[in-house]
């Protein structure tokens, strides 16, 4: 069974209104003056990484492909636009048959990126491309921010598994997207069942403090949980006194108890004490899971602690201080007609305040040293230098309006692992710094 084919409650029937009002008013004006059909190239990129970050992680590409396929103006949507007088009747007639028929190229999901990297390139008529700006940016900015935070946390965890637990800290639909992005960035599982159902991500969970508190004693709660879920379950041991709870947990579940979870206190100190106590009780194989407002710095501070897994919520789903990647969607080239042979003229915004951009339809490649380690992100227009032909980063995602590069989520997860491994070692440092490799324009 492919859950993506079921039409789940976490989806919407149309993504057409996931856009800004001015996209449609631009369309109306372009239809009126004859520029709507001009062949155009839009690119998604960020001018800078969030402060202190060494690399970005592209996530959400698969969701973008779904959104483009579902960008349809059905009768209800058209009626809403008509009632609000958002656009005129000519534009409504045009929207009624809207189907994206162009091409989309981009970095494959899970790949890393840097300032100026053209992570997505959308080609087609001005009219059909401009409408996709907001929905593409909303997906990529959100998902890539979560994936970048997840990647840093995964590096800090040093191979210990991470559990995504942020559903209660964000919008219910954003939680599903966040779990997906976290999985791309290196998390092993999620607590969110909708994410598990929609994307096949492993789901985990046992009990909260409420389960302990509803029972007459902590022992009663542990006995009920073990009776229902078995001795391999995870018992929450910080509702009252941790030492008493650990002792009771082993008495109830035996030395084969799966794990204990600590959700408060000085995690470094408590984890050491709990490990010592478990070992003294003979539960040497019982794992320790810690939660409680963790971020990558807190995880790194527990590197020497006897912790086996981390559960992360708030900081993950808010991008650990950087909830957006500041990606933009800019027109970089356009022709003077719809003729596919018409010359594409580079265009670019010129302004003060760091909002300038580089015109022209771009390619991107990652130059590597003799050991295969990345040393520069090379972005250019025109012909690709022969030495970089085999290192190009953009792949075709949509051809003639048809998705041609849909892939399992696991592929994006594996790709990110490989891309991160090919960066200089300093990429995983948590200390503030510039992008780990420079962006060069050819």
Decide: 320 and 173 in contact? Cβ < 8 Å: no
CA atoms within 13 A on the CB side of 27: 25
Joined together, the tokens standing for residue 163 give 């559990």
pTM, full prediction = 0.94
Contact call for residues 257 and 235 (beta carbons, < 8 A): yes
Distance CA 53, CA 436 (A): 9
Long-range pairs, 80-86, Cβ under 8 A, ≥24: 80/17, 81/24, 86/21, 86/24, 86/25
pLDDT attached to residue 133: 98
Q: What is the predicted pLDDT for the residue at 259?
A: 98
Burial class (CB within 10 angstroms; exposed 0-12, middle 13-18, buried 19+) of 250: buried
pLDDT score recorded for residue 349 = 85
Residues in Cβ contact with 377 at an 8 Å cutoff, skipping those fewer than 6 apart: 113, 114, 116, 117, 364, 365, 366, 367, 437, 438, 439, 440
Query: Helix 218-229 to helix 242-253 angle, to the nearest 10 degrees?
Result: 40
Provide the CA 288 distance to its chain's centre, in angstroms: 27
Rg (CA), the chain: 25
Write phi, then psi, for 210 (nearest 5 degrees).
-60, -35
User: How far apart, in whole angstroms, are the C-alpha atoms of residue 288 and residue 171?
Assistant: 29
What contacts 305, CB < 8 A, 6 or more positions away?
A: 267, 268, 271, 272, 290
The rounded distance, in Å, linking the Cα atoms of 122 and 102 is 7
Please tell me whether residue 24 adopts helix, strand or coil conformation. Answer: helix
The pLDDT of residue 13 is 65
Residue 55 tokens read as: 């690399």
Burial of residue 3 (CB within 10 Å: 0-12, 13-18, 19+) is middle
Q: Compute the distance between CA of residue 176 and CA of residue 431 in angstroms, rounded to an integer.
A: 30
* Rounded (10°) angle between helices 409-421 and 133-157: 60
Torsions phi, psi for 394 (to 5 deg): -80, 135
Q: Smallest Cα–Cα separation from 278: which of 249, 304, 301?
A: 249
SS3 label, residue 241: coil
Q: What is the distance between the terminal CA atoms of the chain, rounded to a whole angstrom?
A: 47
Sequential pLDDT tens for the chain (442 residues): 455 555 444 455 689 999 999 999 999 999 999 999 999 999 999 999 999 899 999 999 999 999 999 999 999 999 999 999 999 999 999 999 999 999 999 999 999 999 999 999 999 999 999 999 999 999 999 999 999 999 999 999 999 999 999 999 999 999 999 999 999 999 999 999 999 999 999 999 999 999 999 999 999 999 999 999 999 999 999 999 999 999 999 999 999 999 999 999 999 999 999 999 999 999 999 999 999 999 999 999 999 999 999 999 999 999 999 999 999 999 999 999 999 999 999 999 887 667 778 999 999 999 999 999 999 999 999 999 999 999 999 999 999 999 999 999 999 999 999 999 999 999 999 988 899 999 999 9
């Amino acid at each position: 069974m492919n859950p993506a084919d079921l039409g789940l409650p976490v989806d919407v029937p149309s993504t057409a209104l996931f856009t800004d009002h001015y996209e449609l008013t631009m369309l109306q004006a372009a239809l009126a003056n004859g520029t709507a059909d001009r062949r155009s190239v839009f690119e998604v990129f960020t001018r800078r990484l969030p402060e202190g970050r060494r690399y970005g992680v592209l996530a959400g590409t698969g969701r973008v492909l779904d959104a483009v396929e579902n960008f349809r103006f059905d009768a209800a949507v058209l009626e809403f636009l008509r009632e609000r007088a958002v656009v005129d009747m000519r534009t409504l007639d045009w929207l009624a048959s809207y189907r994206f028929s162009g091409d989309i190229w981009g970095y494959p999901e899970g790949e890393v990126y840097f300032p100026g990297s053209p992570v997505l390139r959308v080609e087609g008529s001005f009219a059909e491309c401009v409408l996709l700006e907001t929905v593409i940016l909303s997906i990529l900015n959100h998902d890539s921010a979560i994936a970048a935070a997840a990647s840093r946390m995964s590096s800090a965890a040093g191979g210990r598994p991470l559990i995504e637990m942020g559903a209660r800290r964000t919008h219910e639909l954003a939680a599903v997207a966040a779990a997906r992005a976290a999985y791309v960035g290196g998390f092993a599982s999620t607590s969110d069942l909708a994410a598990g159902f929609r994307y096949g991500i492993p789901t985990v969970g046992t009990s909260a403090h409420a389960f302990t508190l509803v029972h007459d004693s902590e022992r009663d709660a542990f006995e009920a949980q073990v009776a229902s879920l078995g001795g391999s379950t995870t018992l929450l041991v910080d509702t009252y006194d941790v030492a008493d709870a650990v002792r009771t947990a082993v008495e109830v579940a035996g030395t084969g108890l799966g794990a204990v979870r600590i959700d408060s206190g000085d995690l470094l100190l408590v984890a050491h004490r709990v490990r010592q106590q478990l070992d003294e009780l003979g539960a040497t194989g019982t794992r320790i899971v810690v939660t409680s407002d963790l971020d990558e710095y807190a995880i790194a501070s527990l590197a020497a602690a006897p912790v086996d897994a981390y559960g992360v919520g708030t900081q993950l789903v808010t991008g650990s201080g950087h909830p957006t990647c500041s990606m933009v969607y800019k027109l970089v080239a356009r022709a003077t007609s719809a003729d596919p042979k018409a010359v594409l003229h580079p265009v670019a915004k010129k302004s003060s305040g760091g909002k300038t951009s580089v015109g022209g339809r771009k390619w991107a490649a990652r130059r590597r040293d003799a050991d295969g380690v990345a040393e520069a992100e090379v972005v250019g227009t025109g012909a690709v230098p022969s030495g970089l032909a085999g290192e190009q980063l953009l792949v075709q995602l949509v051809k003639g309006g048809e998705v041609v590069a849909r892939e399992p989520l696991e592929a994006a997860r594996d790709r990110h692992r490989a891309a991160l491994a090919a960066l200089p070692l300093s990429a995983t440092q948590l200390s503030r710094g510039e992008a780990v490799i420079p962006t060069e324009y050819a």
